[in-house]
Amino acid sequence: MTVQATVEKVPKLKMVRIYIMGREYLVPEGLTILKAMEYAGYRMIRGVGCRAGFCGACSTVYRLKDDYRLYTALACQTTVQDGMYLVQLPFVPAKKPRYDIEKLKPDFSTILMHFPEVTRCVQCNTCTKVCPQEVEVMDAIQAILRGDIETAAHLTFDCIACGICSMRCPAEIVHYHVFQMVRRLYGKYIAKKSKHLEERIKEIEEGKFREEMDRLVRAGPEEWKKLYAQREIEPD
């Protein structure tokens, strides 16, 4: 008696040809550049981070088939394409500025003192065009030039400091350092203070919750389990 075993046909993976640091590899279509590099056998120790498009570590420069242009992107957020020719930037070696936020004033003269090169912006808009997070980089720099710290802070909320803009800027501005200072100035000096936070901190420092905390800490696992089961749950 013969048993006919039916084997389900495994769908054949569609492969694409990509070039990593000049070497050719066949990788499955649909992988991100990062995953494709690992598929090809690379063990990533630089140029990789959160893998979720938020840390700015995996800046990549590449070109596509039949296209002369150079593109930039984050490796963890971009899928491979057939004919992609790519190289990675391990990091952008910009000098980290040192300053004491307590001693700074939230206006343009502070920026001018620390980053006078923002005055060289010619508004070529290259920074905005290469930003992987779609931040309006040029508009933010121009807002800073006008002294409008608040607008710049809001415009640059999504900046992940990948440094691609700074690599291409003809005026040699290191955008993400300027933006970081601007956001810090905004948060510290301009944004509205949350009164309830200040009040709560005061209450804690005055020891209002000391007794309750001590009791809880001493209560032990049985008590904790009971309290957890009985906790107040907010209605949906």
Residues 11-70 that bind other proteins (CB under 8 A): none
> Is 150 an interacting residue with respect to other proteins (CB under 8 A)?
no
Question: Which one of 30, 90, 147, 187 is in contact with other proteins (CB under 8 A)?
Answer: 147
* Residue among 138 and 159 whose Cβ is closer to other proteins: 138
CA 236, distance to chain mean position in Å, is: 32
Q: Which residues between 163 and 202 bind other proteins (CB under 8 A)?
A: none
Identity of the residue, 34 or 149, whose beta carbon is nearer to other proteins in the bound complex: 149
Q: How far is the CB of 114 from other proteins (least distance, A)?
A: 9
Beta-bridge partner residues of 79: 32
CB of 98 to other proteins, least distance (A): 14
Beta bridge mates, 25:
18
Comparison of 74 and 140: residue with beta carbon closer to other proteins: 140
Binding mask 94-133 for other proteins (x = CB under 8 A): -------------xxxx-xx--xx-xxxxxxx--xx----
Strand order across the 85-88 sheet: 23-28, 15-20, 85-88, 59-63, 71-74
User: What's the CA dihedral at 133, 138, 143, 149 to 10 degrees?
Assistant: 40
Length, in residues, of the chain: 236
Per DSSP, the chain holds a count of helices (H) and strands (E) of: 10, 5
Does 219 interact with other proteins (rule: CB under 8 A)? Answer: no
Identity of the residue, 88 or 126, whose beta carbon is nearer to other proteins in the bound complex = 126
Is beta strand 85-88 parallel, antiparallel or unpaired with respect to 15-20? parallel
- Which of the stretches 22-30, 138-146, 184-192, 218-226 binds other proteins when contact is defined by CB under 8 A? 138-146
Residues 102-139: b if buried by 16+ CB within 10 A, e if exposed: eebebeeebbeebbeebeebeeeebbbebbbbebbbbb
Residues at the interface with other proteins (CB under 8 A): 107-110, 112-113, 116-117, 119-125, 128-129, 138-139, 142, 145-148
